[in-house]
Chain A
Amino acid sequence: MGFEKFGRFGYVSQTKINPLLSYLEKGQIAATKCEKCGRTYFPPRADCLDDRHSALEWVVLDGKSNLVTFTKVFFAPPAFQPETPYLLGLAELSNGLRVFAPISASVEEKQLKPGKEMNLKAAKGARDNLFYWLE
């Protein structure tokens, strides 16, 4: 299983953080945590920035977050046009880390403003692609 399954249209197929996909498959959001210093990374990293340690364990995150900012995309790259317009957001998780994610199609732009409480949830696309989005 290649990482190109990640997202609405994935570009990168090969990476060390492939296990993220199995968590998403189970409906979970997972981060990596350095076994040496305990620093948590989301989106997951394979290598710790602080001590260059490369043994990281997976930890499940709760998706509670606050919206930092967002946009509604009307002019989209070809692969994304079937879903246009769509919402993209940047949110801060309760552990202080930030995530760039689409906003669920069920959310209306009018309801959004920076600071709004959101939930980052695992999601599955029509082509069995896996991702997360803000609800």
Chain B
Amino acid sequence: MSRIAIIGVGHSKFGKRSDASLRELAFEAYSSALDDADIESSRIDGSVVCSATHYDKQRSPAGVVAEYLGLNPQPTFNIEAACASSAVGLRTAWALVSSKLHNVIAVVGVQKMTELSNEEIQELMGRAGDVMWESPFGTTMPAYYAMYATAHMAKYGTTEEQMALVPVKNRKYGSKNPNAMFQKPITIEEVLKSRPISAPLKLFDCCANADGAACLIVTNAEKARKLTDRPVWVAGLGLASSPMSLAERKGPMTSFEVTKNAAKAAYKMARISPNDVDVAEVHDSFSITEILNYEDLGFAKPGGGTRLLEKGETELGGKIPVNVDGGLISKGHPVGATGASQLFALAKQLRGEAGSTQVDGAKIGVAQNIGGIGMYSAVTILRA
């Protein structure tokens, strides 16, 4: 299989960025990725712009992003897979470079959300569920994930206190991430006392809508060796789909088949097992999502995700540190940028540049990125 590398990563500050437009956010991430790769913009022969465009005022944002970044007349286009857009962007770049159609691609994940109210955003998110059979009843993303939480609680005895361990852990690490939207740790009591959003999920169980961008520079092995002495290799790419409507899914609704399928494909391609993973970024859109992801990625057995948390195994120093950049819960979730933000964090870890949250000797990292209510899931394995 062809070897494809990430040779540069960039990240804007995430959050309520009332100071910046979509194109300017994209520039922040792109410019810092070029600096990181230490290459000129002229080397980029195509851009893949990843955004769930219904949240942006700009329609077809690839057009304006490529223009603002100075990437005309090279090819550009948009990739949309809801919250998994930029993980799918990396997959696209992998194919473009492996096929030799392109040499160096910029994957730009970007989202400008906060020009809409949270209510308007949740209306759009509810329509990322089945618009004929579910959205007409008032669905929201928190509502969908809350239904998984209710089922997990009923089947495995999972409690709200256990779920609260996720935001407490992630906000602790988020306090060390200057790009994060929230940089203040929170306590279990604060999580439990926060207002209900969609029971059993409360405010601090949820990620927040945000503006932001993250960028990955992707190239082939030959160019990577010439351009950098610290490439990060794309070792495994898994992507799967599930029915969009909840009613078409089987079983007790305590796990995501889509993530299990994506993980299987990624582990197989990378020829590793979950035990080999040194550091992980999982999609903690909600506290319950992180717990399900532990189980679906094979870090814990079904129902065992909460034990992993209680034993501190997903903390720094634990068996498998997860979301030590703060996760979506601290960083905020600018939908199209999140997948690239996870890969940014893994690249830093694998290059040994993660500072106070460095996982010692990390060689293999896994990122897992769910799209919408789990109709898409991407699992990406990177190697130092």
**A: which residues have CB within 8 A of B?**
3, 6-12, 15, 43, 68-81, 83, 85-86, 88, 90, 97-102, 109, 113-115, 131
A32 to B136, CA, bound (A): 20
- Pick the residue among B119, B136, B151, B253 that contacts A11 (CB under 8 A): B136
The verdict on A80 contacting B199 (CB below 8 Å), with A12-B132, A88-B143, A90-B247 known, is no
Q: Are A10 and B136 touching (Cβ within 8 A)? A: yes
**Minimum CB distance partner of B145 in chain A:** A71
The verdict on A43 contacting B132 (CB below 8 Å), with A72-B196, A90-B253 known, is yes
**Contact stretch, chosen from B44-52, B120-128, B215-223, B234-242:** B120-128
Shortest C-beta distance, B311 to chain A (Å), equals 27
B residues 104-123 in Cβ contact with A at 8 Å:
118-120, 122-123
Q: Are B246 and A98 touching (Cβ within 8 A)? A: yes
Shortest C-beta distance, A42 to chain B (Å), equals 8
Task: Point out the residues of chain A lying under 8 angstroms from B142, CB to CB.
Answer: 73, 75
- Pick the residue among B119, B246, B252 that contacts A100 (CB under 8 A): B246
Size range of the interface on B? 35 or more
Shortest C-beta distance, B111 to chain A (Å), equals 19
Q: Which of B119, B140, B247 has the most CB of A within 10 A?
A: B247
Q: Are B137 and A7 touching (Cβ within 8 A)? A: yes
Q: Are B140 and A77 touching (Cβ within 8 A)? A: yes
**Minimum CB distance partner of A89 in chain B:** B147
Q: Are A70 and B126 touching (Cβ within 8 A)? A: no
Question: From DSSP, what is the main secondary structure of chain A's interface residues?
Answer: mixed
**B: which residues have CB within 8 A of A?**
118-120, 122-123, 126-127, 130-140, 142-143, 146-151, 154-155, 195-201, 245-249, 252-253
- Pick the residue among B123, B137, B149, B245 that contacts A8 (CB under 8 A): B137
The verdict on A114 contacting B136 (CB below 8 Å), with A90-B253, A98-B248 known, is no
Q: Are B198 and A72 touching (Cβ within 8 A)? A: yes
Q: Are A73 and B140 touching (Cβ within 8 A)? A: yes
A6 to B132, CA, bound (A): 8
The verdict on A90 contacting B246 (CB below 8 Å), with A71-B143, A77-B122 known, is yes
Task: Point out the residues of chain B lying under 8 angstroms from A72, CB to CB.
Answer: 196, 198-199
The verdict on A11 contacting B247 (CB below 8 Å), with A72-B199, A78-B119, A90-B147 known, is no
Task: Point out the residues of chain A lying under 8 angstroms from B138, CB to CB.
Answer: 8-9, 73, 76-77, 79-80, 83, 86, 88, 102
Q: Are B131 and A69 touching (Cβ within 8 A)? A: no
A79 to B122, CA, bound (A): 11
**Minimum CB distance partner of A80 in chain B:** B138
Shortest C-beta distance, B284 to chain A (Å), equals 18
Q: Are B198 and A113 touching (Cβ within 8 A)? A: no
Task: Point out the residues of chain B lying under 8 angstroms from A102, CB to CB.
Answer: 137-138
**Minimum CB distance partner of B131 in chain A:** A11
Q: Are A69 and B253 touching (Cβ within 8 A)? A: yes
Task: Point out the residues of chain B lying under 8 angstroms from A97, CB to CB.
Answer: 247
19 inter-chain pairs at a CB distance below 8 angstroms, sorted by A residue, are: A3-B132, A6-B132, A11-B132, A12-B131, A43-B247, A69-B147, A71-B200, A72-B196, A72-B199, A75-B140, A76-B138, A77-B126, A78-B119, A78-B123, A81-B119, A86-B138, A98-B246, A100-B133, A131-B137
**Minimum CB distance partner of A5 in chain B:** B136
Task: Point out the residues of chain B lying under 8 angstroms from A74, CB to CB.
Answer: 195-199
Shortest C-beta distance, A69 to chain B (Å), equals 4
Q: Are A99 and B247 touching (Cβ within 8 A)? A: yes
The verdict on A88 contacting B139 (CB below 8 Å), with A12-B132, A77-B126 known, is yes
Q: Are B140 and A114 touching (Cβ within 8 A)? A: no
A40 to B169, CA, bound (A): 46
A43 to B142, CA, bound (A): 23
Shortest C-beta distance, A67 to chain B (Å), equals 10
Q: Which of A43, A71, A98, A109 has the most CB of B within 10 A?
A: A71
Q: Are A113 and B154 touching (Cβ within 8 A)? A: yes
Task: Point out the residues of chain A lying under 8 angstroms from B122, CB to CB.
Answer: 75-77
A20 to B14, CA, bound (A): 45
Shortest C-beta distance, A118 to chain B (Å), equals 14
A70 to B201, CA, bound (A): 12
